[in-house]
Structure 1
Amino acid sequence: MKGTSQPKPKSLNTFRKVADLTFPLYILHFPLLVVVKSLLKVQLSTTMHFVVCMLIVVILVSVIGTYLEAKRPWWNQLFGNLLIRIRKTTNVSVSKATV
């Protein structure tokens, strides 16, 4: 289509990396918030405490999420093999899309 600009590969890669962190953020934000709150012994009702805790949580999620995303091929292989073993031992039909 004329008139539409395609995103540059670098910006697309940056967008994908940020988007890949949304799942770890979804899964880890609350447990990490509880841990950070208990370690720092703060009240989240105070705006400053809340902001500091959330910044710490976002940083931790970014670090953990980046590590987990780097290991994604390993996780895919691990769970793929696990599902294949379960299928073989239980004689349950699992579609290839699941594996």
Structure 2
Amino acid sequence: MSAYSTAFQALTSGRALRPGEAAELLADLRRETGEELADAVETQLDGKFRRTATDTDGSFRKKRLHYGASMRVVEAVRALARSSRPTLPHQRNRSTS
């Protein structure tokens, strides 16, 4: 049973959930949703940054950089979904704005 259907049944059963049960249910839902989102984004990225015959070395280098940045975001989403206490990863640049 998916986390969504479990949450739906728990919310519509008329029985109040204990705080621990509710937290576990929401964590399962967050984990499942995060994994599905990361998998969908990764599927969309597959093939988008491949080298074509018209690419120069510079344009292909930019494609690789963009692909790397995209995959770091996908991995950050996966890490947030898996963690028991989600926190955002550290920003990679020193910008203050």
For Structure 1 versus Structure 2, the TM-score category normalised by the shorter chain is: 0.3 to 0.5
What TM-score do you get using the length of structure 2 for normalisation?
0.33
Q: Which has the higher contact order (CA 8 A, sep 6+)?
A: 2
Structure ranking higher in helix proportion: 1
Q: TM-score, normalised by structure 1?
A: 0.32
